[in-house]
Structure 1
Amino acid sequence: MNMGGPSKLTDVHDFLNRLFMDRDLLQLPFQSKLAPWIAKRRTPKIIKQYAEIGGGSPIGYWTALQGERMAAILDQTNPETAPHKPYIAFRYAAPLTETTLEQMQKDGVRRVVAFTQYPQYSCSTTGSSLNELYRQQRRLDPNGQFQWSVIDRWSTHPGLVKAFAERIQAKLDEYTPEERESAIILFSAHSLPMAVVNRGDTYPNEVAATAEAVMKRLNYSNAYRLVWQSKVGPLPWMGPQTDAAIEGLASQGHKNLILVPIAFTSDHIETLYELDLEYGELAHSLGVTGFKRAEALNDSPTFIAAMADLARQSLTARESPIGKQFTLRCPQCTNDQCAVTKDFFAKQNSAR
């Protein structure tokens, strides 16, 4: 499960419209009318951005590749649960959740692991995907053909941490010894509105936990900071924003910065356009001569092995792999759908 992205430019409007209509992500006044207006207004700008990274999002390609290689590992290491087949359920782009469930029904699938590709849980990402999965499951599978378990978060899984550390070390090795000593690592994650954070969303803590675990594996070799990107609109969001951090560090004379997309498991517009083009151009304009971006996890064998390990645990665990964090709603949660969704998947695990 992931947010997905438009595979071609003609898909951008529908992608944006679904995104702005999602009340798990945004709660707007008169949303049914305002969301289409915002989507239409932003479409030309976003089309231009996708055009600059090749005409569409690569997230579908990378997600399919990761799933296929994960399943191949599981077929070899866990023959008792074979054969394994990956299905993609994107929230805002094809293949959508309902389309995927329909295909799974046609294929006769019975046992399903709902595997979020957001390592750090947020109500606006994994929570939204699971709410949609629950709604479509109840509509399409009222008799319970599918038997579910859920991987809802995995922010400090050793394999994930190792994969990020390998990507960062590869960039550190590109510097001279003197440059490497002074390089600053900027862990950049998609920001959240403060209204979401203040109601108790666990995302900021989990992203910080990933960054800290990665730096521990790197033996705290460099100075580092956690920064936030992709703010939209006038309301307060988490900071410092990534571009503001680059500006501030440049003004202090720092020349060597490594951006790390710590909350993304593959390349998409936030890495290829925002980090590489927008922030890359900003850094160079400010005299940051040693600007680098750690490669996204994409086809990392370490990362895909971590995915297989998580899926294996979910398939074979005798006790529920869902932790207590999943069943606990945000202290200030106002979305009753979250309670229903959490209860359904928790009971599925207990019954299994």
Structure 2
Amino acid sequence: MLNMGGPATVSETHDFLRNLFLDGDLIPLPFQSLIAPWIAKRRTPQIEQQYKDIGGGSPILRWSELQGEGMAALLDELHPATAPHKSYVAFRYARPLSEETARRMKEDGVKRAIAFSQYPQYSCSTTGSSLNDIYRKSRAGLFSGIDWSVIDRWGTHPGFVEAVAQNIESALGKFPEEQRGDAVVLFSAHSLPMSVVNRGDPYVLEVSATVSAVMNRLGHTNPYRLVWQSQVGPSAWMGPQTRDALKGLARLGKKRVVLVPIAFTSDHIETLYELDLEYGKEAHELGMEVHRAESLNGSPVFIRALADIVAQHLKEKDAGAPPTSVQMGLRCPGCSNVTCAQQKSFFARSGTL
């Protein structure tokens, strides 16, 4: 289960930020090995305070493990031919990093594994970065002897869509019935630099497809928009920013909003601090009533969806399907990342070097 992760304790914040800013797939920087540690050190006090404000660390590992255990238990029933199933978490920037996960898998004698992205929508900067990391670690011998396949995107899976829609309905239910239909459903996803978008990254398209599927499930009962959060640095990023959208809606007289994290599968700093504390406070000051749809966290519907996604993948593999999707094999038209090409070839060969 591949994800970016988050520091479980406040003291892990600096290492998390250093790892994040060193990742050229996520944040390309000039002289990255020199500049990234400096940025991490400079930002650490501010981000440490944010983790203190949400309870002393990120809950993403706890939720990932709970989701994985529930998924594996269901898989034993849904696809007994490959039972017993076991889930492992591999974070990109926080523990457990891929090195630790590789050690655990080796100790358990794992010979067959699925690299299952926990980003529902594909981006080279998220799923791509995690897959690049597994490829590099495999070249270093850490994941030797494993037959790999990949689940790289699943943003329109009916179970995922249903889980999100149910949480939106619960949030809409907090408004008086006579006001409910006027509430704006504001889907918020992590933004991307326009340089990444313009080279052909599919993320924006895939997030849009998720939003469309969710609104179809809801019957288009409410007006909605897709907005973007978590911009870093001065360069141009995908917009509008969530904060600016809330201000704009208030100016237009739209004071009732359901805020929906649409690219995150569990709570972490971008939901608990950025959406709940930061934007929530600003919206309140604007006279708005904002309710955030809960993250998927321990949703049984979502955990069942994860199991269904993997079970279908295994059945397709049994029927002779290739180890990766057709879409994963296509590089962005503007891609110049050599590792990306090597990684795609590696997984297309089931992890054979």
* Same fold per superposition (TM over 0.5): yes
Give the AA of the match of 1:330: C
C-alpha RMSD over aligned residues? 1.2
Aligned to 1:11: 12
Aligned partner (choices 332, 335, 340) of residue 333 of structure 1: 335
Q: Does 1:193 align with 2:204?
A: no
Deviation at 1:178, TM superposition (A): 1.7
Deviation at 1:104, TM superposition (A): 0.4
Once residues 222 and 320 of structure 1 are traced to their aligned partners in structure 2, the CA distance between those partners, rounded to angstroms, is 40
Once residues 316 and 108 of structure 1 are traced to their aligned partners in structure 2, the CA distance between those partners, rounded to angstroms, is 23
Matched residue count: 348
Deviation at 1:333, TM superposition (A): 0.4
Which deviates the most, 117-126 or 96-105?
A: 96-105
TM value normalised by structure 2: 0.97
Q: Does 1:209 align with 2:209?
A: yes
Decide whether the 8 Å contact of 2:151 with 2:325 is kept in 1: no
Q: Which runs of 5+ in 1 are unaligned?
A: none
Query: SS in structure 2 opposite 1:182?
Result: coil
Report sequence identity in percent: 61
Q: Does 1:45 align with 2:46?
A: yes
**Deviations for 1:270-327, whole angstroms, at most 9, x for unmatched residues?**
0000000001001000000x21000000011111111001111222322126322100
Q: Does 1:248 align with 2:248?
A: yes
Give the AA of the match of 1:315: L
**Deviations for 1:205-237, whole angstroms, at most 9, x for unmatched residues?**
000000000000000010000000000111100
Q: Does 1:279 align with 2:279?
A: yes
Deviation at 1:347, TM superposition (A): 1.9
Deviation at 1:36, TM superposition (A): 0.3
Decide whether the 8 Å contact of 1:2 with 1:117 is kept in 2: yes
Deviation at 1:141, TM superposition (A): 4.8
Deviation at 1:102, TM superposition (A): 1.5
Decide whether the 8 Å contact of 1:314 with 1:321 is kept in 2: no
Q: Does 1:150 align with 2:143?
A: no
**Deviations for 1:12-51, whole angstroms, at most 9, x for unmatched residues?**
0000000000011111111111000000000000000000
Which deviates the most, 60-69 or 130-139?
A: 130-139
Query: SS in structure 2 opposite 1:215?
Result: helix
Once residues 159 and 199 of structure 1 are traced to their aligned partners in structure 2, the CA distance between those partners, rounded to angstroms, is 31
Once residues 166 and 84 of structure 1 are traced to their aligned partners in structure 2, the CA distance between those partners, rounded to angstroms, is 28
Decide whether the 8 Å contact of 1:113 with 1:315 is kept in 2: no
Decide whether the 8 Å contact of 1:149 with 1:314 is kept in 2: no
Once residues 174 and 21 of structure 1 are traced to their aligned partners in structure 2, the CA distance between those partners, rounded to angstroms, is 42
Aligned to 2:117: 116
Give the AA of the match of 2:346: F
Aligned to 2:311: 312
Once residues 316 and 347 of structure 1 are traced to their aligned partners in structure 2, the CA distance between those partners, rounded to angstroms, is 19
Once residues 270 and 241 of structure 1 are traced to their aligned partners in structure 2, the CA distance between those partners, rounded to angstroms, is 13
Decide whether the 8 Å contact of 2:13 with 2:48 is kept in 1: yes
Decide whether the 8 Å contact of 2:231 with 2:237 is kept in 1: yes
Once residues 132 and 312 of structure 2 are traced to their aligned partners in structure 1, the CA distance between those partners, rounded to angstroms, is 23
Once residues 331 and 53 of structure 2 are traced to their aligned partners in structure 1, the CA distance between those partners, rounded to angstroms, is 40
Once residues 50 and 5 of structure 1 are traced to their aligned partners in structure 2, the CA distance between those partners, rounded to angstroms, is 10
Query: SS in structure 1 opposite 2:349?
Result: helix
Which deviates the most, 240-249 or 100-109?
A: 100-109
Aligned to 2:218: 218
Give the AA of the match of 1:306: A
Once residues 18 and 266 of structure 1 are traced to their aligned partners in structure 2, the CA distance between those partners, rounded to angstroms, is 21
Aligned to 1:77: 78
Give the AA of the match of 1:73: L
Decide whether the 8 Å contact of 1:119 with 1:154 is kept in 2: yes
Q: Which runs of 5+ in 2 are unaligned?
A: none
Query: SS in structure 2 opposite 1:192?
Result: coil
Give the AA of the match of 1:118: Y
Query: SS in structure 1 opposite 2:284?
Result: helix
Once residues 291 and 23 of structure 1 are traced to their aligned partners in structure 2, the CA distance between those partners, rounded to angstroms, is 36
Decide whether the 8 Å contact of 1:5 with 1:59 is kept in 2: yes
Once residues 94 and 116 of structure 1 are traced to their aligned partners in structure 2, the CA distance between those partners, rounded to angstroms, is 17
Q: Does 1:26 align with 2:35?
A: no
Show structure 1 runs of 4+ deviating over 4 A. none
Once residues 33 and 231 of structure 1 are traced to their aligned partners in structure 2, the CA distance between those partners, rounded to angstroms, is 22
TM value normalised by structure 1: 0.97
Decide whether the 8 Å contact of 2:4 with 2:92 is kept in 1: yes
Once residues 309 and 98 of structure 2 are traced to their aligned partners in structure 1, the CA distance between those partners, rounded to angstroms, is 21
Give the AA of the match of 1:226: L
Once residues 59 and 96 of structure 2 are traced to their aligned partners in structure 1, the CA distance between those partners, rounded to angstroms, is 14
Give the AA of the match of 1:204: V
**Deviations for 1:51-109, whole angstroms, at most 9, x for unmatched residues?**
00000000000000000000011112222111011100000000001110111011101
Query: SS in structure 2 opposite 1:257?
Result: strand
Once residues 31 and 136 of structure 2 are traced to their aligned partners in structure 1, the CA distance between those partners, rounded to angstroms, is 22
Once residues 300 and 323 of structure 2 are traced to their aligned partners in structure 1, the CA distance between those partners, rounded to angstroms, is 24
Query: SS in structure 1 opposite 2:228?
Result: strand
Aligned to 1:323: 325
Aligned to 1:344: 346
Decide whether the 8 Å contact of 2:128 with 2:340 is kept in 1: yes
